[in-house]
Each structure stands twice: as C-alpha cells, then as structure tokens.
Chain A
Amino acid sequence: MADCTESKIDIRGCKIHMRRGGTGDPALFLHGAGGIPGWIPAFQSLSESLDLMVPDHPTYGLSDEPEWLDDMNDLAMFYLDMLDELDLNGVHLIGNSLGGWLAMEIAVRSSTRIKSLTLVGSAGIRIKGKPIVDIFMMDPDDLVRELFVDQTIAENILGMNLTEEQTDIQLRNRVSTARLGWQPRLFNPNLRKWLHRIKVPTHVIWGDTDRIIDPVYAAEFGKVIAGSQVTMIEKAGHLPHIEQAETFVKAVSGFIQSKAA
C-alpha cells in the first residue's frame, strides 16, 4: 500500500529515518509531538504531485539521538544542514504542530532553498492568555481523545495493541517533545519578532475544532506572516491531515499549485 521508500540518511554523522515517495517538487513534512504513524493516506495523495519526504526528527521515532541536540534552534539548524547535504532546492515545507514551529524556525533562518511554507495546527508563538493545552500533564489516553473530533479514530488508536518497539518509540517521542518544548511550553518568545523574514508563500491550515492549539492561532499567524492564506478545515481537530485527509490534501496541493508553482 505504501508507495514510499524507507531508508536511513546520514547528515554529518546523525542518521535519520526517512520515508520518501512520489515525484515533482520536493516537499518536506515536519511531524509534531506524536511522531509519524506511517505512510498515511494523506502522504500517499500528496506524493502524487510532490516528491514527499517524511523524516523522523533526530531524537524521535527511529532516528538517532545525537548528543548535540538541546533545543529547537539545534533542530532547525540540523534541517538546514540536511537541505544543504541533499542539495534540495525549491522545497515546500509542511509542518504540523511542533513541526510547524520547526518549519518557521527553519524559514526565518534561511529560505534560500524553500519555495513555500504550510503550517498545520502549528505551535511556536504564544498569544497571551491562550496557552497550548498542557499535553504533558494530560493522561496520554485523554490526549488521544482530545486530538480528534471523530472519537472513533481515537478509540481505534487506543484499541491498538502496540509492540514493545512501538511503545518505546511512543515514550521516546514524548520525552523528545518535553526536551524541546517544556519551558517555554511549545513556543519561542523570540520567534514572532522575526516572522517578517518569511517571504515565501505561506498557507496556514487549521482544524476548526482543534482542542490542543486553539484556532485563534490560525488567524494570528495569518496576521503576522505577511501575505499568508488561512484555511479552516471543518470537522477536524489537531491533526486535520489524518482526520480529513482528502480536504487537507486538496487545500495543500491547491495552494502550492496556485501560489507556489
């Protein structure tokens, strides 16, 4: 079913697990706190028009845990290294949640190799009085339920029997997210002042019922990043690419084709 190849890529001694499929413009999907469940339908659809790369970040999933990775700055610089090493140009960055924060950190540092930016339920900035829900304090099962509007998706996930390896990865991902985003909680207070540096076409996509990062953030990003477009996806929570895959893919591809060809 999965039309992707999985391999290990070595970037300056750090090996990351990479899934890659499709042809077209290069696109890099940057995952959020929960990691990558697999080559989901949305990835498959996107790969019909894009050369889609979906890595596990260093310290997540099946990738290495390098000693030098302390914070989001390090992770952003790593990806800039990766773009250089793989000599990728005109990349469409797509970042979800923590991955959206990461995408912005990359883009403000250097957009030379980037053609567009898509933020999906993104972390990274803070609106006073509107914290991101404390994903660390929540019971992990409750967290799964809060991610989706459609509770059958949640129940399916909770009902799965995980292998030892899968449980380990889950725990690992959680720790990595805490390392990057415990304090300040999933945002960088010094990011907003540099968002003007993002000059590539930017698309902000949000589930209208996102119970983790309030949809008010969608409007905020739309305001702060000049020329950006905001698309709300109905009946979707924090992971619209899973919950409303078709609508999501249409929005992403549509934007890329019309604004960032």
Chain B
Amino acid sequence: MKVFAFHLMPYAALDMSYAEKYSSVWLKLPNSYFDPKIGYELYNRYLDELELAAELGFDGVCVNEHHQNAYGLMPSPVVMASALAGRTGDAKIAILGNAFGLREHPLTLAEEHAMIDCITGGRLITGMVRGVGCEYFSMGANPAYSLERHIEAHDLVIRAWTEEGPFAFEGKHYHFEYVNTWPRPYQQPHPPIWCPSQGSSETIKWAAHPDRKYTYLQTYSAFDSVLRYLNSYRAAARDLYGYAATSKQIAWCTPAYVADTDAQAIDEARPHIQTMFNKLLPKISQSMFVPPGYMSNESMKQIFAHKATLRGGQTIEDMIARGVIAVGSPDTVRSILIERHRQAGFDHLLLMPQFGTMPGELAEKNIRLLAAEVIPALQTLNDDDYIGFEPAAAAAE
C-alpha cells in the first residue's frame, strides 16, 4: 500500500465570529477575513508539513484546488506542487485534483502538469475533478455542462499529452486550431490519472472504463459509504466492463490523528476536526454546493443520503463512530486502518494529518508519530490482507 499525506491548507486562523454574519466560509465570506501575513506563515508551515511527511517516509504528498474560501487556500494546487517539486526527494506529488472542465483553456493545466512532471522526473499524479458545486459560482462556469466539459476537457488533455502536435481539436465545448503542447509530460504516456469524488456514479463509471482504469479516490465520508462507493467502482468494472479492477485503482482519504493515548488524541483533535467539519467543509444542504444541473437527480439523492451525516453539529465521537476519521493512539489508528483495508482493499491511502484550526506543533507531532508508528505497517499491506471484493459486497448486503 502507498500512504500519502494530504493537505487542504485551510485558513486556520479564521476569526470564528464570522458565523454571526455569514452562513459559510465559501464564496461570500469577504476576503478581508484573510490576513496575508498569517497566510504567509500558514502556507510555509503547511509546505514544511508536507515536506516533513515526504522526508519521514510517506510515499507521496497531495494538494488540491478550491477557490474563494477559507476551507482550502489553494485556488491553484499547481503553485503548491511546484513549490514542493524540488524539496520532496522521491515522494510522489499528487494534485487531487485540478478541475479541468471549469476552464475555458484546460490546456493551461495540461502544460503546467507537463512542466511539473518534467521538473520532478515523473513524480506527478494528475487528479481530475469536476470541482465542487461552489466553484461554479466562483468561476462563472455553467454547472449544467459540468460532466460534458469534464469529459471533453479530459479527452483534449489526453490527446495533447499523447498525440503529436500540432493538431486541431474540434470539440463541442473546446475548439483549438493548434494543439502542440511544449513541454510534453515526462511519464509515458502521461502522469497517472486519479479521480477524487464524493461518490458520483457518473464519475465512478467513467473512471472504471477499460480505456481509462483511473484510480478512484473516495473522499471523507462515513466508512460504510466509503465502502459502498469503492465497491461500486469494483462492481462497475466487473459488471459494466467485464474486468476485475485491481486494488491499485482504489483509494481512500481520511483525516488521521495520533497521540500517545486514545483520550489524548481525541482531546487534542476535537476542536480542530469539529471546526473543519462543522464550519469549514462545504455544506451539502446549501444550494451553492449543488447548483442546478451539477449532478444527475439519482446522484443527488444518493449524495444527500450519505452526506446527511456531514451536516453541521457533529462531534468527534460521532465521526469516529461512523469511521469518517481515524483518531487515537498509534495502536488504535493502525488497527482501524488495517481493518478498513481488510474490508475495502484500497492500495492507496491518503491521510490528512492537519485539519481545521490545528496548530503547527500538533500537526508536526502527528506527522512524526504517524510516520514512525503507523505507516510502516500500512505500507506492507496488500491484496493478501484484503478479504476480496465478492465477500465484501456480500457482507455489505
């Protein structure tokens, strides 16, 4: 198994009295709440944290894209991936993901990913996401075309990376007379492509297609939902496409916090994880996160069902009970994660060692302890430790 350190880079110093006037930290929370001097410290601290993780043996580090909000300060994960390029040794750098279809010119991202792939000698992982609903307000992109544009942007980028230029791309949403990308990616045919998702059935089916077989990353949810979605990816491969997905196509992301004892870990993590989930995370109940046309009605209903538990007011105990997060002593967390792997068989595990308002000392302590006491055991796990798809699916029913 490969274990990554994932960072959202939140504005951890947010003045919490914002909640008296604003219902969300997304889109409409005035950017006057952002103090650049604090931003400077936070960014460098967060980069230090990821570099530390790489140094201490995590297989890779991950960043992602969100606009105009205090939840994640990386409207451009390309900037972060570039900043990490020369300072992460052999670790992979995963952009999970960029929203290619939000752009009018997705080739810009293709160029940037190719540059980073060349600079790092092939350590980049390219995540392609549709972008959460709120980005469609920020970017002025039409949510009704989200899936179409995502697919067409993907096709454009794959061709740009693999087909000799110059060629014309004549799509519905994208039309370019001269596609001739310099540089080309280092990895052949291109960096591995991952699809992070909250559980969209369209994404799952698209990613599992035999032409693509993209690694599907389920983002933080109650674990029974996680399992259901990861299994539906395996099911799609088997039933729709007639092949057995490998565990390399399966990935899970979870906030993880360790301390000497369970009680201490829960105590230390509590205020920060609760802030993250209750204040910072997008609230599916709010229409800005599910603009019209963003997802099919079927998907909408499914997501609402499993995200109901992520709506405000959760305690850390709830989250632990539902398996949304892994918090405890190194032994506890190690066992939890080994058990999760036994059930779901993911070959890629993304741990988020900093969340919400968590200060630097705790984040660093967490990373060190995870690296020393938890991940070595995880990195030895493979399909031998996985109960396998059929029993898992049967057990789930």
Contact = CB atoms under 8 A, between A and B. Distances in A.
B168 A189 contact: no
A227 interface: no
A184 B175 contact: yes
A128 B170 contact: yes
A136 to B, nearest CB: 10
B177 A185 contact: yes
Contacts of A131: 168, 177
B172 interface: yes
Interface in A107-163: 126, 128-129, 131, 134
B178 to A, nearest CB: 9
Most buried by A among B168, B172, B175, B177: B177
B271 to A, nearest CB: 52
A129 B168 CA distance: 8
Contacts of B168: 129, 131
B177 A189 contact: no
A25 to B, nearest CB: 39
Nearest to A184: B175
Nearest to B168: A131
Given A126-B170, A128-B170, A134 B175 contact: no
A134 B175 CA distance: 15
Contacts of A128: 170
B88 to A, nearest CB: 39
A18 to B, nearest CB: 34
A249 B254 CA distance: 75
Contacts of B172: 189
A143 to B, nearest CB: 17
A185 B170 CA distance: 11
A41 B221 CA distance: 76
Contacts of B175: 183-184, 189
A126 B172 CA distance: 12
A134 B168 CA distance: 12
Interface of B: 168, 170, 172, 175, 177
Interface of A: 126, 128-129, 131, 134, 183-185, 189
Instruction: Rank and list the top 8 A-B pairs by shortest CB-CB distance, nearest first.
Output: A128-B170, A184-B175, A185-B177, A131-B168, A131-B177, A126-B170, A134-B177, A189-B175
Given A129-B170, A134-B177, 11 more contacts: A126-B170, A128-B170, A129-B168, A131-B168, A131-B177, A183-B175, A183-B177, A184-B175, A185-B177, A189-B172, A189-B175
